[in-house]
Amino acid sequence: MAQIINYDLYPIDDLYTDTARQWISTIKTQLDKDGSCLFPHFVIPEALDTMTDQAKSIAHLAYPGPTEVSPYFFNYKLGEGQDLPASHPLKRKGKRKLAQVATDLIPDDFLLSQLFHSPEMRQLLSAIIDQPVYRNEDPYQSLNISVMDPGGCQQWHFDSGTMVTTLLLQEPEAGGVFEYSPGIRSDDDENFGAVEAILDGDLSSVKRNNLKAGTLSLFRGHYSLHRVTEVEGNQQRLQAILGYTTRLGHIGNKESSILHYGPRVAETESRHPRYPD
């Protein structure tokens, strides 16, 4: 990992020093305040160049998935059977224009795979949230590369996971800004009124992260409404999503994998099933 992670900036190799403890405390404070924490230059330049080149070499394998979805597209049963007006957030759909390379298409010898499987990453996240952290074991969802071509974007939405870990591999020439409203909902309150206000264009509660390549981001995406604005210029926006969880052996939903990674998943699962019945 010393050839991938910038240990000069981030003391991940020894989290028990006073310096590391103080750094972790700062991260926790930032997450509590903003719902997001950034680690610029997390990956050393040489490793980032290699990661980006490797991601580009398989970007053509990315599947576009749905093009119009609601903010709650992972919460399939939320609002089921309710008679709701068309203006309600559960009824609203936004433009989604991106493609994703699934886990099983990312070679194990890629630097991104090595980073994802490293114990250092799990130890870092565990220290931040004060819980054991494991890798998502889903055969398709655990490690992804998100590919946004010019004009690409992602609609306002919530994530299924409580802590989302991403690494920006390549920034676009312009646009592609990450926008979010931290802690807009909770386990006890969906706060649909505030969500509807954002969908209607009220951005007063919205923060913006104009991420740079090589930045690791920790984000409480389950509770924060967020989106990526339209990519401008000729350069793709490439981002890795590293799936970690507090649940040992966690895998996702087969129907979700088919939706986001294409019919080949259904075909593969029919021959060599990896999801439980």
pLDDT of residue 277 exceeding 90:
no
Does residue 58 fall inside a structural domain?
A: yes
Q: Which of 65-69, 178-182, 200-204, 237-241 has the lowest mean pLDDT?
A: 65-69
Number of domains in the chain: 1
pLDDT of residue 78 exceeding 80:
no
Does residue 1 fall inside a structural domain?
A: no
Does residue 6 fall inside a structural domain?
A: no
Does residue 129 fall inside a structural domain?
A: yes
Query: pLDDT digits over 194-237, tens only?
Result: 999 999 999 999 999 989 999 999 999 999 999 999 999 999 99
- Domain span holding position 47: 18-76+86-271
Does residue 7 fall inside a structural domain?
A: no
Does residue 81 fall inside a structural domain?
A: no
* Mean pLDDT of the chain, nearest integer: 93
Does residue 3 fall inside a structural domain?
A: no
From residue 46, give the alpha-carbon distance in Å to each of 13, 21, 53: 19, 28, 11
Interatomic CA distance for residues 100 and 146, integer angstroms:
5
Query: pLDDT digits over 141-176, tens only?
Result: 999 999 999 999 999 999 988 889 999 999 999 999
Q: Which CATH number fits the domain that encloses residue 70?
A: 2.60.120.620
Supply the pLDDT for residue 81: 74
pLDDT of residue 76 exceeding 70:
no
Residue 265 token pair: 């998943």
- End-to-end Cα, the chain, rounded Å: 37
Match 């939405």 to its residue by tokens.
Answer: 157
Does residue 104 fall inside a structural domain?
A: yes
Supply the pLDDT for residue 13: 86
Supply the pLDDT for residue 276: 83
Q: Quick one: average pLDDT of 9-25?
A: 91
Please, which pLDDT band fits residue 83 given cuts at 50, 70 and 90? confident
CB contact at 8 A, 145 and 239:
yes
Q: What is the DSSP string of 94-162?
A: EE-B-EEE-GGGS-TTSHHHHHHH-HHHHHHHHHHHTS--EE---TTTSEEEEEE-TT-BEEEE--SSS
Q: Is the pTM of this model over 0.85?
A: yes
Residue 173 token pair: 């020439």
Q: Quick one: average pLDDT of 20-32?
A: 93
Query: pLDDT digits over 38-64, tens only?
Result: 999 999 999 999 999 999 999 999 999
Q: Name which residue leads in pLDDT, 13 or 120.
A: 120
Supply the pLDDT for residue 161: 80
Supply the pLDDT for residue 75: 66
Please, which pLDDT band fits residue 74 given cuts at 50, 70 and 90? low
pLDDT of residue 250 exceeding 60:
yes
Supply the pLDDT for residue 260: 94
Residue 212 token pair: 């740079």
Q: Quick one: average pLDDT of 186-198?
A: 95
